[in-house]
Amino acid sequence: MKELSKPLLEGVEEFEIVLATYENFVLGYSFRRLQDDLFCLVQSFANSGHRASVRTVASGGKFMASGSSDETIQLYNMASRKEMGSLVKHDGTINALRFHGQTHLFSASDDGTICVWDTGSWQCLRTLKGHKQAVNDIAVHSSGKLLLSVSRDKSLYTWNLVKGRPAFITNIKVEASRVEWCPTDGPGDLFLVIHANQCDIYSTAAGGIVGSIDFGKKISDLAFIGRHLVLSGEEGKVNIFDLSVRDDLGRVAPSCLVDFNADPSGARIKCVAYAGPSELMGCHYLVTATSEGVITVWRVNIASESSDDKNKVRQLTNTTAGCRVTACDIYIKATESDGPSAGDDRKAAAKQETVLKKTTATKKRPSKSENYQKKIDERRQQQFIVEPKKIRTLDIKQVRKPGTVKGKKT
């Protein structure tokens, strides 16, 4: 397997920024602390495994995935710094990738389908069908039982992952570009739907819109810092909102806490990502990337009593990637004290009666011949086969049925 470049050793790495680009590259930048208040961004890897522009990236535990216009999903092991291979299932551009813990990956495509992948075997467990046009974005609930999706067909689907089918279908009459659940430590089961310069806030309890934000410019991306919502858009605009405020009718009344310009040249902030808290500095890290490839890391201190936004947000460092950025995500190297491992996540997921896992019935131990036949059947059906020290992709369309030669029965 091809090995990704090793991060440079200068300073202490806080996190790694993974970028998707129009130029077919997936780029990595290591954010490093050289001294207490001195930071730098160092390129850690550059991968050109895709044959067309990369549209989305996502990280989950030690895994990182990228989706492209070439209709494939490339997989990487960030712990070993190696490529793992590719997933071939969709018949269109991969628009969104989302990990659920370290056990499952969801992918959405221009072909109107959503695939659920098991990260243990990398088999496609289920293909969710319903949208009539391209799926633009998806969001997995923290429980793993609900999935939201928005499409070019101007619909919002709420999927019941227990039954593997839509629970609700809403005609929102506009094409939404993004959908996202509010974090569980925030204001409850709320989710956001973004279209043009509007951010609508939905409540699962109310079954509809309970608030909205007019950003004033086209919204390109969003992120959460706890209960605080970060929106980015045209002309370098970035705002941070508090969604915990309610009006007299119980509706969400978003309050803008910070309004700052993340790019002096006025370039579009293509993506924004939350990179976690800094215990040393007593603040949070926020990453922005412009469509021109300028990557900036910010120190955010929302709790500051200062009325000046410059004291709440301060630039720590920036660099230029030299590529047009389409998406970004954050990879943080796990430590032993970080909590449950992938194995623990898998045990917890196994307790849930959802389509996120394979259902197996209690049965007698299979014979050697049954095991052999099972392996043959799996090789005919699965799209992604992992063997020790070997990765192979198999397109199901290329597999002939037994007993046929050139379309004729033998």
Average pLDDT for the chain: 84
pLDDT of 367 strictly over 60: no
Residues in the chain: 410
Angle at 77 between CA 73 and CA 82, to 5 degrees: 95
Distance CA 17, CA 280 (A): 20
The per-residue pLDDT for 353 is 39
Query: Which tokens is 279 given?
Result: 């215990």
Residue 260 CA: distances (Å) to CA of 103, 306, 312: 37, 14, 10
pLDDT per residue as tens digits for the range 42-62:
999 999 999 999 999 999 999
Backbone φ, ψ for residue 132 (5° rounding):
-90, -15
Distance CA 278, CA 57 (A): 24
The per-residue pLDDT for 399 is 35
pLDDT of 401 strictly over 70: no
pLDDT of 13 strictly over 80: yes
pLDDT range class, residue 409, cuts 50, 70, 90: very low
DSSP letter for each residue of 343-371 = HHHHHHHHTS-STTS------PPPPHHHH
Using CB atoms within 10 Å of the CB of residue 224, give its burial: 0 to 12 exposed, 13 to 18 middle, 19+ buried.
middle
CB 82 within 8 A of CB 94: no
Distance CA 47, CA 76 (A): 10
Instruction: Give the mean model confidence (pLDDT) for residues 98-124.
Output: 97
pTM, whole model, 2 decimals? Answer: 0.81
Strand partners, 98: 106
Token look-up 């602390």 returns: 33
The per-residue pLDDT for 333 is 87
The per-residue pLDDT for 350 is 42
Least confident of 20-29, 171-180, 272-281: 272-281
Residues 6+ apart with CB under 8 A from 225: 240, 274, 284, 286, 300, 302
pLDDT per residue as tens digits for the range 129-139:
999 999 999 99
